Structure 1
Amino acid sequence: MADTSYQPAPARRARRSDPDRRERIIQACLEVIAEAGVAGTTHRKVATAADVPLGSMTYHFDGMDELLREAFTQFADTVADAFERRMAAVEGREAAKAAVVAIITEDVFGTQRDLVLTHELYTLAARDSGFRDITNAWMARSRRALEQHFDPATARLLDALIEGLTIHRALDTEPHDPSTAVDAVGRITA
């Protein structure tokens, strides 16, 4: 006769708590973009970099477009936050001019990663107008930070100068003399 005594059901595995998973995916996405570009970024690569199951990608994001938007928004906000802090910390026009020079020569594109991410965002925004809201919000924040010390027209010119000189500094094969930035800022703010 068979033993019909009660056998408890096997214990269920405890569900893994991972409250930072979404943020880890976003950060991993930025690292994959920095390494492989937007064109080389896939759900699989990001999931591997974030050390999450592939299914987590579709659980947390509707698709690659949403993930890219979240990642680039977070990146732009991080850079804009640093820009705003730098400009808010100074008092007076001369200190503001020195802060702009420091942004050009030290802050923006301080790493190869930031350079690549910025250019990948610019390229994506140039091809897909849906991403221009990220770049426009970033530029608006930069101009507002500059407008704490300069009139709106000068702030717009300085913002363009910052972009241009940092791109030159980042991509040029020759070292840049910081006096170029000092001279350019001086001319625009004269």
Structure 2
Amino acid sequence: MATNPRYDPERRDRIIDACLDVIAERGVAGTTHRRVAEAAGVPLGSMTYHFDGMDDLLRAAFTRLSHTIADGFEARLGHDMTRDQAKDAVVDLIQQDVFAGHRELVLSHELYTLAARDERYRELTTAWMARSRVALERHFDPTTARLLDATIEGISIHSALDVTPTDRALIRELVDRVVGP
């Protein structure tokens, strides 16, 4: 039985992934339907078939990004552990997940910029922060979880802008100071 070349159940997901790649390379301002379609290897017409416009595509892409990052928090902090293990998990989260690559840092900052200007994107960042804090609150009181979440965001900003990588010992000292003994 011949397959229909137009039937492509993974096309929408490929478009979203390609959109994130284009944003990472060119920023939101440089992201167009044409560039995303080319990066996804799909006809330009697929863009309007799957998305109501650029805003719909951006929201889908940034929703995927925020869920992926929040999933990482939950994976690192989602199980029972001692307080020291939880602190180590936060250090691992910062060093191995948040600092995993320049791409994720750029993408999250592009989302922050949109969220600062547009309430609809702020809803995404608010939900993302809430999920991150719930994961942190499995091991730390709500105030400490909030401070850790803000610290992680601050470190990510410094990491995106600083040419010198932040070493593990410094990250651990920072977590120890926020969390306490």
Contact 2:105-2:156 within 8 A present in 1 as well: no
Per-residue CA distance 1:14-72 (angstroms, 9 max, x = gap): 55221111111111111111111100000111111111111111111100000000000
Per-residue CA distance 1:119-147 (angstroms, 9 max, x = gap): 11111111212200111111001000000
**Counterparts in 2 of 1:1-150, with a 5 A limit?**
14=4, 16-150=6-140
Considering only aligned residues, what root-mean-square deviation do their CA atoms show, in Å?
1.5
Give the Cα separation in 2 of the matches to 1:64 and 1:121: 14
Per-residue CA distance 1:163-189 (angstroms, 9 max, x = gap): 112222332122323222211211221
Contact 2:20-2:107 within 8 A present in 1 as well: yes
Per-residue CA distance 1:142-164 (angstroms, 9 max, x = gap): 00000000110110001011111
The alpha-carbon deviation at position 89 of structure 1 amounts to 3.9
The worse-fitting range, judged by mean Cα deviation, of 88-97 and 151-160 is 88-97
User: CA 1:42 to 1:156, structure 2 compared with 1: closer, same or farther past 3 Å?
Assistant: same
**TM-score (structure 1 length as normaliser):** 0.89
- What residue is the counterpart of 1:4 in the other structure? none
Give the Cα separation in 1 of the matches to 2:166 and 2:12: 39
**TM-score (structure 2 length as normaliser):** 0.93
Q: Note if 1:184 corresponds to 2:140.
A: no
Give the Cα separation in 1 of the matches to 2:5 and 2:51: 21
Larger gyration radius, structure 1 or structure 2:
1
User: CA 1:96 to 1:14, structure 2 compared with 1: closer, same or farther past 3 Å?
Assistant: closer
User: CA 1:111 to 1:164, structure 2 compared with 1: closer, same or farther past 3 Å?
Assistant: same
Candidates 155, 162, 165, aligned match of 2:152: 162
User: CA 1:53 to 1:175, structure 2 compared with 1: closer, same or farther past 3 Å?
Assistant: closer
User: CA 1:187 to 1:68, structure 2 compared with 1: closer, same or farther past 3 Å?
Assistant: same
Give the Cα separation in 2 of the matches to 1:175 and 1:160: 19
Contact 1:105-1:166 within 8 A present in 2 as well: no
Q: Which runs of 4+ in 1 moved over 4 A?
A: none
User: CA 1:96 to 1:33, structure 2 compared with 1: closer, same or farther past 3 Å?
Assistant: same
Task: Give 2:157's aligned amino acid.
Answer: I
* Percentage of identical aligned residues: 63
Give the Cα separation in 2 of the matches to 1:50 and 1:175: 32
